[in-house]
Structures are given as C-alpha cells and as structure tokens.
C-alpha cells in the first residue's frame, strides 16, 4: 500500500512541476507587404491626425474592430534597410493584409514620397512601447 501512495505522490509532483514550468511566449510575428502614403485627417481610431504625425493605417482585415489602435509598430524598408516607428490610428480598406498606408512624414523616414510604393516588413511593438 505504501508503494502505491509513494507512486501517486511522485506522479503528482512531476505533474505539478510540468504545469509550473514557464510557458514560452510566441515570438514576434513579422509581416511583409507594400507601404504607401496618404494625407491623414480624422482616423478610424477616432483621433484627428496631421501629416507630421507618424501615423499608420492598417488593412481592414487586420483593423477589425480597432483593437490595434494606438499600437506602435516597427517598419523596415526592405530595399534600403531604413527603419521607422509609426502608430496605428487609421484603417486602410484598399490595403492587403500585410500592407500599410503611412503619413507622409513617416513614409519619408523610409523613402522618398516620389517612390510612392515601398516593399516593407513590420511588426507590432509591446503595448507599453514608446519610441
């Protein structure tokens, strides 16, 4: 009888140690797509923006009900390696899932407005991130 009890205690201790192990967090997901620019104004997130703000409009697919509003993201021009940060403040109905529409000032940190369209990669920063 003692051996069954001992076996039960050992099994329980092993199970408890597995459940107490830290869970590995999902690594940051990097998205790719096209970067374009637009003249900003009243955004879908409910805030009025100006072209000098570092504003990003995300696709309607990603925007959903606005859960990413005011979220910072890191954007890279994959052709020249330039990086910038922008904040989600608007929705882009014509964008594909990985595409971003940016304010002119943000776009200019990555490339010339004359270019019009950039190949980009991007990811969200942590919720408490401020550049």
pLDDT band at 84 (very low <50, low <70, confident <90, very high): very high
Residue 72 lies inside a defined structural domain of this protein: yes
- Note down the domain range covering 49: 31-124
Given the DSSP bridges, would you call strands 100-102 and 55-59 parallel, antiparallel or unpaired? antiparallel
Does residue 104 lie in a domain region? yes
What is the DSSP secondary-structure string of 79-110? TT--EEEEEEEEEETTS-TT-EEE-HHHHHHH
Between 42 and 22, residue with greater pLDDT? 42
- Domain-located, residue 3: no
The CA-based angle 11-15-18, given to 5 degrees, is 140
pTM, two decimal places: 0.78
Spatial distance between the Cα atoms of 57 and 100, rounded to a whole number of angstroms: 6
Q: 117 in helix, strand or coil?
A: coil
- Here the CATH number for the domain that contains residue 98 is 2.40.40.10
Query: Would you state the pLDDT for residue 51?
Result: 98
Q: What CA–CA distance (Å, rounded) separates 99 from 17?
A: 44
Does 59 fall in a domain?
yes
């Amino acid at each position: 009888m003692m051996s069954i009890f001992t076996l039960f205690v050992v099994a329980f201790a092993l199970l408890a140690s597995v459940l107490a192990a830290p869970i590995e967090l999902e690594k940051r997901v990097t998205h790719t797509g096209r970067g374009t620019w637009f003249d900003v104004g009243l955004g879908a997130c409910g805030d009025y923006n100006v072209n000098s703000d570092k504003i990003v409009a995300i696709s309607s697919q990603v925007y959903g009900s606005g859960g990413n509003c005011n979220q910072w993201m890191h954007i890279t021009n994959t052709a020249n390696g330039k990086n910038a940060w922008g904040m989600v403040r608007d929705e882009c109905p014509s964008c594909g899932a990985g595409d971003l529409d940016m304010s002119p000032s943000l776009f200019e940190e990555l490339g010339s407005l004359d270019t019009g369209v950039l190949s980009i990669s991007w990811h969200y920063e942590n919720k408490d991130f401020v550049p």
